[in-house]
Amino acid sequence: MEGNMKVAIMTDKMKMAFTERPIPQPKDDEVLVKIEYVGVCGSDLHYFESGAIGQNVVHPPFVLGHEAGGTVVELGSNVRNLKVGDRVALEPGKTCGHCEFCKTGRYNLCPDVIFFATPPVDGVFQEYVAHEADLCFKIPDNMDTMEAALIEPLAVGFHAARQGDAQLGQTAVVTGTGCIGLMSIMALKAMGVNRVIAVDVQQKRLEKALELGATDIINGKEQNTVDEVMRLTGGAGADLTIETAGTEITTRQAIHFAKRGSTIVLVGYSASGEETLPISLALDKELTFKTVFRYRHIYPLAIEAVSSGKVNLKGVVSNVWDFDDIENAMIQSVKDKANIVKSVIKIC
CA distances from 89 to 27, 35, 37, 38, 327 (A): 19, 10, 10, 10, 24
d(CA 318, CA 68): 17
Half-sphere exposure of 219 (CA within 13 A, CB side): 9
pLDDT tens digit at each of 348 positions of the chain:
899 999 999 999 999 999 999 999 999 999 999 999 999 999 999 999 999 988 899 999 999 999 999 999 999 999 999 999 999 999 999 999 999 999 999 999 999 999 999 999 999 999 999 999 999 999 999 999 999 999 999 999 999 999 999 999 999 999 999 999 999 999 999 999 999 999 999 999 999 999 999 999 999 999 999 999 999 999 999 999 999 999 999 999 999 999 999 999 999 988 888 999 999 999 999 999 999 999 999 999 999 999 999 999 999 999 999 999 999 999 999 999 889 999 999 999
In total, the chain counts a number of residues equal to: 348
Q: Give φ, ψ of 8 to 5 degrees.
A: -90, 130
d(CA 172, CA 267): 15
Quote the pLDDT of residue 205.
94
Amino acid symbol at 3: G
- Asked if residue 155 lies in contact with residue 44, where contact means CB atoms within 8 angstroms, the answer is no
Which one, of 115, 158, 131, lies nearest residue 69 by Cα?
131
Quote the pLDDT of residue 281.
98
User: Taking the complete model, does pTM exceed 0.85, yes or no?
Assistant: yes
- Asked if residue 209 lies in contact with residue 201, where contact means CB atoms within 8 angstroms, the answer is no
- Asked if residue 292 lies in contact with residue 269, where contact means CB atoms within 8 angstroms, the answer is no
- Asked if residue 121 lies in contact with residue 114, where contact means CB atoms within 8 angstroms, the answer is yes
Which one, of 44, 40, 33, 60, lies nearest residue 127 by Cα?
33
The DSSP secondary structure of 53-103, one letter per residue, reads ETTEE--SSB----EEEEEEEEE-TT--S--TT-EEEEP-EE--S-SHHHH
Domains of the chain: 4-150+317-346 (3.90.180.10), 157-291 (3.40.50.720)
d(CA 183, CA 268): 13
- Asked if residue 169 lies in contact with residue 191, where contact means CB atoms within 8 angstroms, the answer is no
All residues at 6 or more sequence positions from 110 whose CB lies less than 8 Å from its CB, including other chains: 93, 95, 96, 99, 101, 102
Amino acid symbol at 137: F
d(CA 268, CA 246): 4
